[in-house]
Structure 1
Amino acid sequence: MFPSFDPKLLTPTRRDVLLGAMASTVILPFGSAGLASAQQGSAGAPAASEAAKRAVEAYRDVILRISHEVWENAELSLQEEVSAEIHLRELQEAGFEIVSVGTSNIPTAFVAEWSQGDGGPKVGFLPEYDALPGLGNAAEPRQTPGPRGVEVGHGCGHNMLGAGCTGAAMALKQMMMEDGTPGTVRVYGCAAEETEGAKVYMARDGLFDDLDACLAWHPAPVTAAGLLRTAALDRLQVTWRGQTAHAGVDPWTGRSALKGAEIFATGIQFMREHLKPTTRLHYVYTAAGEAPNVVPDQAGILIVVRDASREEVAEVTEWVREIAEGSALMTQTEVEVDHLFGMHDLLPNEPLARRIYDHIAAVPVVWTEQEQAFATVCQAGMGLEEAGLDETVLPFLPEITSGGSTDVGDVSYNTPTGVFAWTTIPRGVGLHTWPVTACSGMTIGDKGALNSAVVMAGVGYDVMTDAAFREEVRADFDTRLGGRTYVSPLPEDKIRPHGVPPHLLLRDGTGELTDEFFKLGA
């Protein structure tokens, strides 16, 4: 049982927030008085909250069916055939029109919508449904294989994330039908969030431009809303090509691609002293030769550049390119820098975030003894303090920046966007771990899917029905955008993410067989 009498366990630590979707890079004022205040919420629950609860309850079985089936059929990024079909099946059954499948050249992405009346506001939802490698686990508080073994599992909780978002869209439709509110509810099937997220490709295609607001949530060890910012990102593949030779007999005739990569990596280390505190550089070697007695003629490094804004990322990325060119000059090799992917930072919206917070405060965070016991066994298995599940709502978060990145950022530069966290993970447990998969497949995850749907349906209804609120949201968006025009971080010639399975590429409707398709042995 969660020892609620211990104030230390009731006060979320900085680690808890860092590990959650609402991560922070600063120490926040988590005093007991602040938490008590946060738990009380606003003076009164938002008017739409009770209606949202009733609408979500009407779709309770549907929301849980989506979450459970996607959890049982965990699929990696770009392979989410079954998972996408589960969402599409339920959306069609609920009366949504399927606008597109294979959206923005990604076979497992889609757009569905429902409209009523003439014109009216438009609200979007962002379900995700891809899983992670090596994190398959049963819905048990110990490491044990899940429905698909240990190979694939929902270690980021996208089964419940997606169910909450799609369920919120259905509930909002129900609320609008009851009072004849005109407007459009749109659901974006956001494939491949864990790799090259579909949202970035959709943003490039202008698919969010006509929305009044877009809503999403993320599983976390805390329940929170606020002015979270995330980092912008570039992902680069750097490849060196040299000349092979016998490393013992005549190495002077060779030119080592590996040496080019090593000098590049050294150059990156020498950069670090002169980078801003917000900058992050991390990389892995993707090729480094195979035999020590052969001068490697090919080497590669995959590097990620993060910073607080696209502009700052672009500056650092250019410096990285220059270091790559210098490393090739120093080793008499050739180098190619392939810009694989990029994302924007997350642009917060204060009126939207505060309305989300009000709706969160109207939905209690309640756990059973069995759920708390489940959480403590997970924590014991991870070697963590057995503190159970958090039962509080954090104070409204000030404008803070996380070191992580999300493709929701590109949505936020095209329409006002609200994102929040709901507790579905034991205290101290990080995302992308087996306890997340375990909790996602049982009642802890069920509560996350249902409660997040209540919050998003309520906020969505407020956007649909409150013109003054919409104006506040748009004004904040325009102010933060500051006249900037969205420019996609994707290379112009980048049609779709790398690694789309060949059979899905055939089905995506382009009629195009790429070099990648043939390399994969179609």
Structure 2
Amino acid sequence: MIEWLDQNDTQFIELADAIWRTPEVAWHEFTSSKLQAVLLEEHGFRIRWDVGGISTAFVAEWGEGRPIIGVLGEYDALAGLSQKLQTEQEPLVEGAPGHGCGHNLLGTGGVATAVAVRRWLETSGTRGTIRYYGCPAEEQLSGKTFMAREGAFDDLDAALNFHPDKLNCPSKGSAVGVYDLVFRFRGRTAHAGGSPHLGRSALDAVELMNVGANYLREHVTEKVRIHYVITDGGRLPNVVPETADVWYFVRAHERSELDSVAERLKKVADGAALMTETTCTCTFRGACSNVLSNVVLADAQYANMEELGPIEFTSDELEYAARVNSAFPEEDARTMFTAMRVPAEWRDRVSGVCGRPLIGENFPAWDEEQISTGSTDVGDVSWITPLSMLRTACFATASPGHSWAIVATAGMSIGHKGMMHAAKTMAATAYDLYTKPDLLAAARAEHARATEGHPYSCPIPDEIPAPRVANPVRGVQ
């Protein structure tokens, strides 16, 4: 499989670049999902669309029987991050989306893995099933959750996943869950200059709620995060706003704490409505669970990564990354590993590389029992089946997450090399899972112990529908 991927990487690089050139935001990944599905169909995969009730979600499957191994992919971009392939910030299209999290690489790396495994299953005569999951809207942290609610992952024996990053290593850590909530306040409009006493400002209520939420931060545990953005604050300053909306993400590691903080936040909203004589409604839009890592699979991923060796970057790539890094304070690259909570015993090993523009070396996981305050809907899959998360070097070391600098390397050879390193690692790990029953049994036993007494429960209530957007590429309504 490794040799085949080395000899056939062009089709996957072209796919990743095509998705990079057509960035689409969450729930609207019409072209991106179709591009992936077409390539997989050309390689003999059976395609099933509308998974979880989402028009841009699909499953591609080849083979029959067990083991059933899943590979997770994504393809959504981020609003406002359009960027040219250059080392200075300049959008391709002002205000347009861009792949500021590298999901053009993430999804295509998964496609490459699935295709390589499918070819090996056929040529070797090995019994088993390989699936690729085309998952939308990871940036809104609910795509896989809606798919999980439908049961899309229930029969998997194990799942593999990677995310583009600044270095190569598997993960044994966790990430927090999240609730997606929108608060809408309704008041009474009036002339802001002539008769302000007749108005009841919905915007005032939003602002007071946000003040209350900021005070609430002081009285939650250190792993809780509360973020918001005002999505509707009125239209004209001389009109008292009748309606105003604020969009919140609440993050916490335990489901019970998520529920508790969300309820406290709703009380803050009720208080803001009371103070302003407005009304408030809260809409629950989505959620994802915390991540449950699998040490057995992480160790298998690292062993295969080490077998591959480091990523070899050229002098031109190193120079390109150095110019990207020059747009940011030098300390940003040097503090990268501090931000990633590298334990003291690892700092000597990483201190020699953390100032470089690119890092091609492989590292074992150092984050066992650590909890990241970021979130991903991969968490929901991890509660259903054993799952391994992998990171590979696709970006310059000083690149902030969700920034133009990520886009600037996600569409060129630096990102391509990291993507193919991930594809080869995951393909080799899938091979192990098909051919070493004891490895798969150990991964599943670890997962069974971790979930004993608290099996997966979807955090999105059944009555909340998945966003359904008309798909002009497929004609889905």
TM-score (norm 1): 0.82
Are 1:404 and 2:352 matched, yes or no? no
Q: Give the CA RMSD over aligned residues.
A: 2.1
Which of 172, 177, 183 aligns to 1:238? It is 183
CA deviation vs aligned residue, 1:431-459 (integer Å, no higher than 9, x gap): 22222222122211111121111100011
Q: Is the 8 A contact 1:203 1:488 kept in 2?
A: yes
In structure 2, give the amino acid aligned to 1:102.
Answer: D
CA deviation vs aligned residue, 1:310-353 (integer Å, no higher than 9, x gap): 22111111111122223223332211011111111111111011
Structure 2 CA distance, aligned partners of 1:136 and 1:220? Answer: 19
Which of 29, 37, 60 aligns to 1:112? It is 60
Aligned to 2:26: 77
Structure 2 CA distance, aligned partners of 1:254 and 1:137? Answer: 43
Aligned to 1:136: 82
Structure 1 CA distance, aligned partners of 2:21 and 2:471? Answer: 24
Moved more, 360-369 or 420-429: 360-369
Q: Secondary structure at the match of 1:131?
A: coil
Please report how far the alpha carbon of residue 293 of structure 1 lies from its aligned counterpart in structure 2 after TM superposition: 4.3
Aligned to 2:345: none
Aligned to 2:361: 392
Aligned to 1:507: 475
Which of 136, 156, 159 aligns to 1:211? It is 156
Q: Indicate how the Cα distance of structure 1 residues 368 and 337 shifts in structure 2: closer, same or farther if over 3 A, else same.
A: same
Moved more, 452-461 or 480-489: 480-489
In structure 2, give the amino acid aligned to 1:396.
Answer: A
Structure 2 CA distance, aligned partners of 1:434 and 1:248? Answer: 42
Q: Indicate how the Cα distance of structure 1 residues 502 and 125 shifts in structure 2: closer, same or farther if over 3 A, else same.
A: closer
Aligned to 1:34: none
Please report how far the alpha carbon of residue 263 of structure 1 lies from its aligned counterpart in structure 2 after TM superposition: 2.8
Q: Indicate how the Cα distance of structure 1 residues 223 and 502 shifts in structure 2: closer, same or farther if over 3 A, else same.
A: closer
Which of 320, 324, 327 aligns to 1:378? It is 324
In structure 2, give the amino acid aligned to 1:94.
Answer: H
Q: Is the 8 A contact 1:67 1:449 kept in 2?
A: no
Structure 2 CA distance, aligned partners of 1:122 and 1:261? Answer: 48
Are 1:426 and 2:396 matched, yes or no? yes
Please report how far the alpha carbon of residue 376 of structure 1 lies from its aligned counterpart in structure 2 after TM superposition: 0.6
Aligned to 2:44: 95
Q: Is the 8 A contact 1:340 1:491 kept in 2?
A: no
Aligned to 1:471: 441
Name the % identity.
35
Q: Indicate how the Cα distance of structure 1 residues 330 and 124 shifts in structure 2: closer, same or farther if over 3 A, else same.
A: same
Aligned to 2:111: 166
In structure 1, give the amino acid aligned to 2:413.
Answer: T
Structure 2 CA distance, aligned partners of 1:209 and 1:267? Answer: 41
Aligned to 2:349: none
Q: Is the 8 A contact 2:185 2:245 kept in 1?
A: yes
Moved more, 247-256 or 350-359: 247-256
Q: Indicate how the Cα distance of structure 1 residues 342 and 250 shifts in structure 2: closer, same or farther if over 3 A, else same.
A: same
Structure 2 CA distance, aligned partners of 1:416 and 1:313? Answer: 24
In structure 1, give the amino acid aligned to 2:476.
Answer: D
Q: Is the 8 A contact 1:137 1:150 kept in 2?
A: no
Please report how far the alpha carbon of residue 247 of structure 1 lies from its aligned counterpart in structure 2 after TM superposition: 4.1
Q: Is the 8 A contact 2:51 2:150 kept in 1?
A: no
In structure 2, give the amino acid aligned to 1:434.
Answer: W
Q: Secondary structure at the match of 1:54?
A: helix
Structure 2 CA distance, aligned partners of 1:62 and 1:492? Answer: 40
Q: Is the 8 A contact 1:131 1:153 kept in 2?
A: yes
Q: Secondary structure at the match of 1:357?
A: helix
Please report how far the alpha carbon of residue 168 of structure 1 lies from its aligned counterpart in structure 2 after TM superposition: 0.4
Structure 1, unaligned stretches of length 5 or more? 1-51, 510-522
Aligned to 2:348: none
Q: Secondary structure at the match of 2:287?
A: strand
TM-score (norm 2): 0.89
Structure 2 CA distance, aligned partners of 1:444 and 1:405? Answer: 25
Q: Secondary structure at the match of 2:432?
A: helix
Q: Is the 8 A contact 2:136 2:143 kept in 1?
A: yes
Aligned to 1:444: 414
Please report how far the alpha carbon of residue 496 of structure 1 lies from its aligned counterpart in structure 2 after TM superposition: 1.9
Please report how far the alpha carbon of residue 204 of structure 1 lies from its aligned counterpart in structure 2 after TM superposition: 0.5
CA deviation vs aligned residue, 1:256-305 (integer Å, no higher than 9, x gap): 32332233223212322220011111112222334444433222211110
In structure 2, give the amino acid aligned to 1:328.
Answer: A
Structure 2 CA distance, aligned partners of 1:272 and 1:144? Answer: 36
Structure 2, unaligned stretches of length 5 or more? 332-354
Q: Indicate how the Cα distance of structure 1 residues 360 and 257 shifts in structure 2: closer, same or farther if over 3 A, else same.
A: same
Q: Indicate how the Cα distance of structure 1 residues 261 and 243 shifts in structure 2: closer, same or farther if over 3 A, else same.
A: same
Structure 2 CA distance, aligned partners of 1:485 and 1:67? Answer: 36
Q: Indicate how the Cα distance of structure 1 residues 207 and 502 shifts in structure 2: closer, same or farther if over 3 A, else same.
A: closer
Please report how far the alpha carbon of residue 248 of structure 1 lies from its aligned counterpart in structure 2 after TM superposition: 4.7
Q: Indicate how the Cα distance of structure 1 residues 297 and 418 shifts in structure 2: closer, same or farther if over 3 A, else same.
A: same
Which of 297, 310, 330 aligns to 2:242? It is 297
Q: Is the 8 A contact 2:171 2:388 kept in 1?
A: no
Structure 2 CA distance, aligned partners of 1:141 and 1:247? Answer: 47
